[in-house]
């Protein structure tokens, strides 16, 4: 059992090391380093040696020194002696090795003796594989977008496959694309429109969704079950099916090219999910709280505003976040309903610019970064409200 676990552990950790070092090497190549080959055999041998030595040494040396020692040995052999690469590459390799040795530090001969330790090792490294692989896949386009927005037209034309950022230039020229899109492409206006539309959609959706969700969660009325089960039916229709009839209707009503028109469509599309999410949360609020409120002379309206809403802040903020993201990123309806540049939203504006062959790519990418950033910041800020547990302490639990 011990030998089998030992071999498996060494192999898995070695493959993991090869994987992360390879990613670093790919990224380094993108930065313009000329790496002839990946030297996989050498990494493999070192991986096996380090895994084994780590088990062998165990707790005889402090974990910190052990990590430093192994990392240094690897860096000197691989980066300095064999390939002779620049310092920043070697620092990266050093950090990767440090992370790797720390990761395998907790394994020792003792816990390899346990029967199920192979499974634990396997799943732990599988999780790490997954996280690294998918974050690489997802983050790479963002990286592309970001570096392209920092480039000049000439740099893009000279070497389109250069993935490095030239930090040598001063800040004004680095952020030149961002100034240009605000000055000559009117992005300030698009941001304003997008903000009004998104925030407006959030407010209107919540105004309708909170009472509706409360009614479905708590009150008894005719057709309640049908209502609550059919809320999500609207999602059976793809938006493209609705967009053409809506186009004719909006044209006749004069709602095209207007923010009001967009608000109506966006509210209609986000309301069902908002109601669905909220009613689930409202149902989880103990009924006794409302009964206590009734005895405290609160009306239905008072119960909603003074009890239900304060207790549902986590749910309401996640609904608000969801609605905001939908409205901010929405493209199909804005493409169909807006054709006057004065009423463009951000996503529609970027589409408009990219349709124009004259628009330089770095400006488009700068615009895309601007579309992405607010959602990112809002998400980071609201995240703390998404943690539930606000009802803790009201009732036994």
Partner 1 sequence: MANIQFKGIHKSFGSNKIISDFNLKGKEDEFLVLVGPSGCGKSTLLRMIAGLEKIDNGEIFINDQKINELHPSKRQTAMVFQSYALYPHMSVFENMSFGLKIEKRPKEEIASKVKEAAKILKIEELLDRRPKELSGGQRQRVAIGRAITRNPKIFLFDEPLSNLDAALRAEMRVEISKLHNQIKTNMIYVTHDQVEAMTLADRIVILNNGNIEQVGTPDEIYNNPSNIFVAQFIGTPKMNILEISEENMISENILKLFGLEIKFNNIKFEKTKHYIGIRPEHLKFNQKSDFTFNPEIELIENLGNEKIIYLKKDKDQLNAKISSNTEISNKIGFNLQDLLIFDKNKIRIKL
Binding site for partner 1 (CB under 8 A): 286, 288-289, 291-298, 302, 307, 310-311, 390-396
269 close to 239: Cβ distance less than 8 angstroms = yes
Distance CA 117, CA 352 (A): 57
Residue closer to partner 1 by CB (options 189, 218) is 218
Q: Which is nearer to partner 1, 309 or 378 (CB)?
A: 309
**Cβ distance to partner 1 smaller for residue 296 or 339:** 296
C-beta of 324: minimal distance to partner 1 in Å?
24
The residue among 111 and 394 lying less far from partner 1, judged by its C-beta, is 394
Smallest distance from partner 1 to CB 382, Å = 18
For 90-147, the DSSP string reads HHHHHHHHHHHHHHHTT--HHHHTSTTHHHHHHHHHHHHHHHHHHHHHHHHHHHHHHH
Alpha-carbon gap, residue 152 to 341, rounded angstroms: 26
The string of DSSP codes covering 214-244 is HHHHH---TTHHHHHHHGGGGGGS-HHHHHH
Distance in Å, CB of 147 to partner 1, minimum: 46
> Please, what is the minimum distance in Å from the beta carbon of residue 150 to partner 1?
46
Residue 312: CB minimum distance to partner 1, A: 10
- For residue 45, the minimal CB distance to partner 1 (Å) is 56
CB of 213 to partner 1, least distance (A): 19
Dig out the tokens for 142 from the structure: 């963002």
Distance CA 28, CA 386 (A): 38
Cβ-based nearer residue to partner 1, 311 or 365: 311
- 290 or 330, CB closer to partner 1? 290
Q: What are phi and psi of 70, to 5 degrees?
A: -60, -45
Could you give the CA distance from residue 318 to residue 37 in angstroms, rounded to a whole number?
A: 48
C-beta closer to partner 1: residue 191 or 285 = 285
Instruction: Decide if 366 contacts 181 (C-beta within 8 A).
Output: yes
Please report, to the nearest 10 degrees, the dihedral formed by the alpha carbons of residues 207, 191, 259, 376 taken in order.
-40
Q: Residue 295 CB, nearest distance to partner 1 (Å)?
A: 5
Record the tokens describing residue 232, joined without a space: 């999500």
Residue 314: left (phi > 0), alpha (psi -120 to 50), or beta? Answer: alpha
Residue with Cβ nearer partner 1 (245 or 393): 393
Tokens read off for 209: 């969704």
């Amino acid at each position: 059992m011990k030998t089998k676990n030992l071999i498996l552990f060494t192999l898995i950790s070695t493959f993991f090391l090869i994987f992360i070092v390879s990613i670093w090497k790919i990224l380094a190549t993108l930065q313009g380093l000329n790496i002839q080959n990946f030297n996989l055999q050498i990494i493999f041998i070192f991986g096996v040696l380090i895994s084994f030595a780590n088990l062998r040494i165990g707790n005889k040396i402090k974990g910190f020194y052990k990590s430093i020692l192994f990392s240094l040995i690897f860096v000197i052999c691989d980066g300095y002696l064999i390939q002779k690469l620049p310092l920043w590459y070697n620092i990266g390799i050093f950090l990767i090795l440090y992370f790797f040795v720390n990761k395998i530090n907790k394994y020792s001969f003792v816990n390899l003796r346990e029967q199920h330790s192979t499974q634990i090792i396997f799943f732990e490294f599988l999780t790490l594989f997954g996280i690294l692989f998918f974050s690489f896949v997802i983050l790479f386009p963002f990286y592309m977008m970001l570096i392209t927005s920092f480039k000049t037209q000439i740099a893009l034309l000279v070497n389109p496959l250069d993935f490095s950022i030239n930090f040598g230039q001063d800040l004004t020229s680095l952020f030149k694309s961002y100034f240009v899109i605000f000055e000559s492409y009117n992005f300030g206006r698009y941001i304003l429109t997008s903000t009004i539309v998104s925030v407006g959609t959030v407010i209107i959706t919540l105004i309708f969704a909170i009472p509706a969700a409360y009614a479905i969660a708590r009150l008894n009325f005719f057709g309640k079950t049908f209502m609550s089960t059919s809320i999500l039916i609207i999602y059976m229709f793809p938006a493209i099916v609705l967009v053409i009839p809506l186009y004719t209707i909006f044209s006749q009503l004069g709602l095209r090219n207007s923010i009001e028109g967009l608000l109506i469509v966006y509210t209609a599309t986000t309301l069902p999910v908002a109601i669905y999410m909220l009613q689930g949360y409202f149902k989880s609020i103990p009924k006794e709280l409302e009964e206590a409120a009734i005895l405290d002379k609160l009306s239905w309206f008072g119960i909603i505003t003074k009890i239900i809403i304060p207790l549902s802040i986590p749910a309401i903020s996640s609904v608000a976040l969801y609605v905001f993201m939908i409205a901010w990123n929405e493209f199909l309806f804005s493409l169909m309903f807006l054709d006057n540049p004065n009423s463009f939203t951000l996503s529609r504006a970027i589409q408009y610019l990219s349709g124009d062959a004259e628009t330089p790519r770095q400006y488009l990418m700068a615009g895309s970064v601007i579309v992405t950033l607010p959602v990112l910041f809002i998400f980071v800020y609201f995240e703390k409200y998404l943690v539930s547990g606000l009802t803790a302490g009201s009732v036994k639990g």
